[in-house]
């Protein structure tokens, strides 16, 4: 057995760096990722906990939002040398063309993309292609487009991108103050009762999610990993529990098999709509993580309630519409079409996308 050759490590001196105008509004971890791509985020978290990173002389954590002209003390960093570090995604004309094909709306300040099924929004372990990396193809000098919010990899539809940091900060405030109205469409198994309702639950991350997830043995089954990487229903006061609120309405149904739901989340928790659909016993069709409880499998064995075999087993969740105040004035209102696998299912059940969407009448609080 041959010994593994350690990767060369480079050390940096103590530095004091200034936050530029284009970097205003960035989280500290994203700022470090831009300035020091070879820095491991686990190491950044450690030096923040120890107080070695300072912003204007104050201790900070990795989620701290930065402001223009702030001074960041950067302690000595241990970085993998360029020769040993993983390859950084490079901008390409193919990425620029793909983004152009995804664009639903664009102006001088922002753009709205129609994210396809299966494309990750941000990078992760082993991730070779993702939207955040693709946006490098639209960078101009130090300025590059900025993701304003996120969608799960298997969720399709409307995704908002700011063209500069100032617009990103303005849009971030609009989202935080709940001025943005987000409407999702889903095909769920079963028919929820009542036909229009409100799901209000506390959710917490499962043991396979977030910074505290345990190491995953290489021989572990994928199903077990999925079970750990789910949000779980929690109680108020439980560690990590956050309140989540969603309004839903049936647009059309093919009882007792399924229903087309329009959903309006008022909070933005991880996997919120997927967890809420499971909680009302109507999981989103094609979801690889949610909807695999014993009662769900019983329904699928019932020939009267099981979904037809010809449908594609992909997540049937679409970020259908986004309505919010435009930072430059007026209202931004953008709608995404059904992705191909959902259109196929809509056609199979005879659902008409021109139907009036009852969720528009749901409260905004």
Active site members? 152
Helix, strand or coil for residue 311? coil
Q: Return the half-sphere exposure (C-beta side, CA atoms, 13 A cut-off) of residue 75.
A: 15
CB 185 within 8 A of CB 319: no
Interatomic CA distance for residues 296 and 307, integer angstroms: 12
Tell me the β-bridge partners of 199. 246
Give the whole-angstrom CA distance, residue 276 versus residue 245: 9
The DSSP line for 17-43 is EE--GGGTT-BHHHHHHHH-TTS-HHH
Torsion of Cα atoms, 151 then 156 then 157 then 163, to 10°: 50
Whole-number Å distance between alpha carbons of 266 and 247: 8
**CB contact at 8 A, 188 and 277:** yes
Residue with tokens 């900070």: 60
């Amino acid at each position: 057995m041959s010994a593994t050759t350690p990767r060369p490590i480079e050390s940096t001196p103590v530095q004091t760096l200034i936050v530029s105008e284009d970097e205003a509004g960035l989280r500290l971890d994203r700022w470090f990722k831009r300035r020091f791509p070879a820095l491991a985020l686990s190491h950044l978290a450690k030096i923040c906990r120890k107080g070695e990173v300072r912003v204007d002389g104050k201790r900070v954590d990795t989620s701290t939002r930065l402001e223009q002209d702030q001074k960041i003390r950067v302690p000595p960093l241990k970085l993998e040398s360029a020769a040993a570090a993983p390859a950084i995604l490079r901008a390409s004309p193919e990425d620029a063309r793909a983004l152009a094909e995804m664009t639903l709306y664009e102006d001088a300040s922002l753009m709205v993309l129609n994210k396809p099924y299966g494309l990750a929004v941000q990078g992760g372990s082993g991730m070779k292609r993702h939207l955040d990396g693709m946006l490098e193809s639209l960078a101009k000098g130090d300025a590059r487009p900025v993701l304003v919010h996120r969608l799960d990899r298997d969720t399709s539809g409307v995704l908002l991108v700011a063209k500069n940091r100032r617009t990103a900060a303005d849009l971030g405030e609009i989202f935080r103050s709940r001025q943005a109205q987000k409407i999702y469409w889903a095909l769920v198994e079963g028919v929820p009762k009542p036909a229009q309702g409100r799901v209000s639950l506390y959710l917490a991350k499962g043991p396979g999610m977030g910074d505290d997830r345990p190491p995953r043995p290489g021989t572990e089954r994928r199903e077990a990993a999925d079970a750990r990487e789910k949000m779980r229903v929690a109680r108020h006061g439980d560690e990590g529990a956050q309140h989540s609120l969603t309004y839903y309405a049936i647009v059309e149904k093919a009882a007792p098999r399924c229903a087309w739901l329009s959903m309006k989340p008022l909070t933005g928790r991880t996997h919120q709509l997927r967890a809420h659909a499971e909680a009302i016993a109507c999981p989103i069709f094609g979801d690889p993580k949610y909807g695999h409880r014993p009662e769900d499998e019983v329904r699928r064995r019932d020939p009267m309630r099981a979904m037809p075999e010809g449908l594609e087993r992909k997540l049937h969740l679409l970020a259908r519409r986004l309505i919010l105040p435009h930072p430059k004035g007026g209202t931004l209102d953008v709608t995404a079409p059904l992705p191909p696998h959902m259109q196929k299912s809509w056609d199979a059940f005879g659902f008409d996308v021109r139907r009036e969407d009852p969720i528009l009448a749901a409260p905004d609080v």
